[in-house]
């Protein structure tokens, strides 16, 4: 049955029990088992909500190799000097205290017929439902001359942590009047405004520490998220510092030479002091290994985030191909809650409510100059479809921009508690 709000509300008057999924008897063992792979915005939220709401009725195991998760969100603010690295690091003790079995290991294999996950350490986990939220990996050969072995010379800093620290150290070591270059990614990629917020934060740092330095962005796209807002902000705060080369001017015709530290844009070679390469992206590898991808991403059903390939395997966040939602932490968190409600319902017979999704992405352009874009979404048979949205306006007062920035601080505390507390 396709569920929309209207049919749901009709059912609501008659009593919601009609919507509850039948209890699935977990065959041959005690509690139903959920394995979550990836403890980021999607996975940590899903594990937390299933554990919290099932009150011990479901066995939840979270597989995540890192002991500290550094959020990509606000990692640009770290580059700009607004946050310290420890401000954006979060550990998994809160989830463990909620009853989630946190296993610090890599998932290396998924056997969907046997319903098992194998870990790098050798262990095998059984599941009734498997949730994958592995984030992104980079497409091989996406930027000519760059591969993952070059990430120390030309960092991506698109998975936060040591890469963010490296990029920041390189920024600080730039010679006076030096050149910071960015190779921006093609669509679709994680955090549409992310590269441009990063340009803003790098410019903020340079304005205060190295004001004659330049920023050059080579972009394969003709336009980007919040473009008018960023361009207005760059003109207001960083006049003459940023040169954005879009698709029309050859921004997509790029190769790099990490040894020589050069970037070639449409045949023209430029020497870079720092070069931030953000390659094209695809679903985290384990999604492909699990056999639930089609091309670069994993197609999912909008109502519950189950994959098109397997009703017992769910994919959340950046790795999923779901329709209209941008790949963001907010989106992953929102999808995780819909998925958690559906998975718990399927395993325990608890009430299942209709999917509602939302997203808001805040970006900081300069001190107290915050902007935002957001939308609500619903599940249709075909995809997650946009319902309504808004975006900050150009020319807003500084009071509005400051309030928007303060709101983003509140959101950061809120979402990280919603993932890890």
Partner 1 sequence: MLHTWPPFSETRAEEVQPIEAAFTVAPDILAIEGDFAYGEYLSSECTTCHQATGANDGIPGIIGWETEDFVIAMHAYREKHRENPVMQMITGRLADDEIAALASYFKSLGE
Ligand X SMILES: Cc1cc2nc3c(=O)[nH]c(=O)nc-3n(C[C@H](O)[C@H](O)[C@H](O)COP(=O)(O)OP(=O)(O)OC[C@H]3O[C@@H](n4cnc5c(N)ncnc54)[C@H](O)[C@@H]3O)c2cc1C
Which residues of the chain form contacts with ligand X (CB under 6 A)? 37-43, 63-66, 69, 72-73, 75-76, 106-107, 133-135, 158, 190-191, 194, 198, 284, 286, 316-319, 327-330, 332, 361-362
Residue pointed to by tokens 């072995």: 149
Residue pointed to by tokens 């209209």: 324
Distances, alpha carbon 251 to alpha carbons 130, 223, 224, 297, in Å: 40, 11, 13, 25
Q: Tokens in use for 163?
A: 């890469």
How near is the Cβ of 43 to partner 1 at its closest, in Å?
16
Q: CB-wise, 125 or 352, nearer to partner 1? A: 352
Query: Does 172 sit near partner 1 (CB under 8 A)?
Result: no
Query: Does 389 sit near partner 1 (CB under 8 A)?
Result: yes
Query: In this structure, what DSSP letter does residue 46 have?
Result: H
Q: Tokens in use for 61?
A: 């195991």
How many CB atoms are located within 10 Å of the residue 60 CB? Answer: 30
Query: Does 410 sit near partner 1 (CB under 8 A)?
Result: yes
Cβ-contact 238, 207 below 8 angstroms: yes
CA–CA gap between residue 33 and residue 29 (Å, rounded) = 9
Among the residue ranges 95-103, 193-201, 222-230, 372-380, the one whose residues contact partner 1 (CB under 8 A): 372-380
Q: Which residue from 374, 380, 386, 396 is in contact with partner 1, where contact means CB under 8 A?
A: 374
CA–CA gap between residue 233 and residue 238 (Å, rounded) = 8
- The reply to whether omega before 141 is within 30° of 0 (cis) is no
How near is the Cβ of 221 to ligand X at its closest, in Å?
16
Query: Does 396 sit near partner 1 (CB under 8 A)?
Result: no
Q: CB-wise, 117 or 339, nearer to partner 1? A: 339
The entry of partner 1, ligand X, none near residue 16 (CB within 5 to 8 angstroms by kind) is partner 1
| Residue 240 CA neighbour count, 13 Å, CB half | 5
Query: Does 411 sit near partner 1 (CB under 8 A)?
Result: yes
The entry of partner 1, ligand X, none near residue 192 (CB within 5 to 8 angstroms by kind) is none
Cβ-contact 307, 313 below 8 angstroms: yes
The entry of ligand X, partner 1, none near residue 133 (CB within 5 to 8 angstroms by kind) is ligand X
Query: Does 334 sit near partner 1 (CB under 8 A)?
Result: yes
Query: Does 97 sit near partner 1 (CB under 8 A)?
Result: no
Residue pointed to by tokens 């008018």: 228
CA–CA gap between residue 144 and residue 185 (Å, rounded) = 13
The residues binding partner 1 (CB under 8 A) are: 5, 9, 12, 16, 49, 53, 330, 333-334, 337, 341, 351, 353, 356, 358, 360, 372, 374-376, 378, 387-390, 406-411, 413-415, 417-418, 421
């Amino acid at each position: 049955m396709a569920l929309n709000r209207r049919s749901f509300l009709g059912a609501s008057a008659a009593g919601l029990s009609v919507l509850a999924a039948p209890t699935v008897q977990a065959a041959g063992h005690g509690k139903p088992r959920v394995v979550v792979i990836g403890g980021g915005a999607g996975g940590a939220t899903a594990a937390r909500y299933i554990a919290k709401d099932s009150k011990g009725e479901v066995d939840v195991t979270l597989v995540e190799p890192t002991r500290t998760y550094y959020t990509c969100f606000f990692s640009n603010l770290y580059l700009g000097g607004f946050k310290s690295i420890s401000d954006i690091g979060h550990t998994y003790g809160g989830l463990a205290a909620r009853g989630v079995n946190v296993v610090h290991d890599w998932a290396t294999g998924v056997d969907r017929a046997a319903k098992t996950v194998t870990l790098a350490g050798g262990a095998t986990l059984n599941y009734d439902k498997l949730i994958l939220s592995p984030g992104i990996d980079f497409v091989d050969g996406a930027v000519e001359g760059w591969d993952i072995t070059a990430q120390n010379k030309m960092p991506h800093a698109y998975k936060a942590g040591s890469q963010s620290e490296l990029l920041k150290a390189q920024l600080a070591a730039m010679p006076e009047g030096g050149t910071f270059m960015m190779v921006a990614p093609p669509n679709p990629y994680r955090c549409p405004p992310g590269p441009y917020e990063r340009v803003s934060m790098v410019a903020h740092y340079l304005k205060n520490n190295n004001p004659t330095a330049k920023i050059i962005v080579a972009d394969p796209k003709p336009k980007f998220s919040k473009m008018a807002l960023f361009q207005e902000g760059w003109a207001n705060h960083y006049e003459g510092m940023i040169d954005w080369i879009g698709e029309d001017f050859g921004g997509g015709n790029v190769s790099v030479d990490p040894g020589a530290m050069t970037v070639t844009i449409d045949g023209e070679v430029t020497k870079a002091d720092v070069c931030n390469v953000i390659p094209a992206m695809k679903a985290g590898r384990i999604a492909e290994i699990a056999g639930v991808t089609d091309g670069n991403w994993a197609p999912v059903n909008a109502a519950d985030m189950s994959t098109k390939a397997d009703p017992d395997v769910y994919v959340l966040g950046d790795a999923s191909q779901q329709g209209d939602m941008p790949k963001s932490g907010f989106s992953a968190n929102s999808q995780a809650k819909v998925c958690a409600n559906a998975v718990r319902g399927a395993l325990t017979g608890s009430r299942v409510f209709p999917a509602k999704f939302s997203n808001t992405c805040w970006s900081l352009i300069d001190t107290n100059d915050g902007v935002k874009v957001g939308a609500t979404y619903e599940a249709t048979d075909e995809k997650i479809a946009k319902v309504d949205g808004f975006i900050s306006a150009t020319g807003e007062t500084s009071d509005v921009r400051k309030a928007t920035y303060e709101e983003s601080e509140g959101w950061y505390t809120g979402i990280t508690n919603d993932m890890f507390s």
